[in-house]
Structure 1
Amino acid sequence: MKTKGARFILNIIIPIMILMLMMVLIAATPSGILEIKNWKDTVLLIIQTLTIIIFIRMLVTIMVSINSSEEYIFTQNNVKRFNRLGYMFLVLILFDYVNCVITGEVSAGALIDCGSFFVISGTMCILMIPCLLCFLIADSFQKAINIKEENDLTI
């Protein structure tokens, strides 16, 4: 099978990335707590911590999906996993929006800036692409599952 090499590499890279993110989480959160001066700092620290946790969860979901699809990739579990990844990307977009509103600074440049509460940043647009792709893949997998089930019934 051609995917064994890629699967092997991903099974090495993803745990290393998870470990690095956990080290950042362990090192940055206590130092961030010491830097809190007002409520904005508290909210930003919570958002940054949750962002790292979501990235770790996304990597774990991808790793589980890769390892579970040895025989047949079109399963309900993979549909749920891709939908979950899409929702995690939506949460990251929301976090970026809250960060822009609180700090007044836009990450990756403002594409649309109509005041302090209506901002669309480049990061939001960049995160929207994999978000939509995850939902598209989940929908495609669901359609493939439905077609397979119909074919199983006709035979």
Structure 2
Amino acid sequence: MDWQDVAIPAVIITCQAFALWVVYRVWKHVRKARVSATTPYAPGTGLKGANIPVLATFMGIRVLPWVALASNNLNPVLRIDGENLVYRVLRQQQRLLSSVLQVDVRSAYGTFNLIFEFRDSPLTFIANLGSPERGAYVLAMLPVSVALSERARAAKIALPL
């Protein structure tokens, strides 16, 4: 019996065990509960007209809501100021809330996105708020003249008071 007959299977078994350990550690990391990156806010904190804390903002296409053409997580801005929506992805823009066709909601692991679709543009503005509670609060700040999708209405109803 040669030394290679013993060493090669031992190396293979060790590599397989290491690969399984890496998969296990990645799985544990993904499943770990996370603390939100933004400060909590609730009704009565005086956010009307002030910047709403968001994790990131995106510019997307209306027909492909999960595809972003541009993103900003360094200095994102979302502000509902009277009848205006002020936001920043590449540069700060201001649009009337009457030009919003509808507001939709998309959610995935660790994200809660509000999607603002505009009447005069195929582009959308997407704001990642981080949690459904923040999303429900921002949806409650919108005037009733802004149309909400079915998902957005369901998320708005979920607002804890």
- TM tier, shorter chain? under 0.3
Normalized against structure 2, the TM-score is what?
A: 0.23
Structure ranking higher on relative contact order (CA contacts 8 Å, 6+ apart): 1
Normalized against structure 1, the TM-score is what?
A: 0.23
Structure number with higher helix proportion: 1
Structure number with higher strand proportion: 2
Look at both structures and tell me which one has the larger radius of gyration over its CA atoms.
2
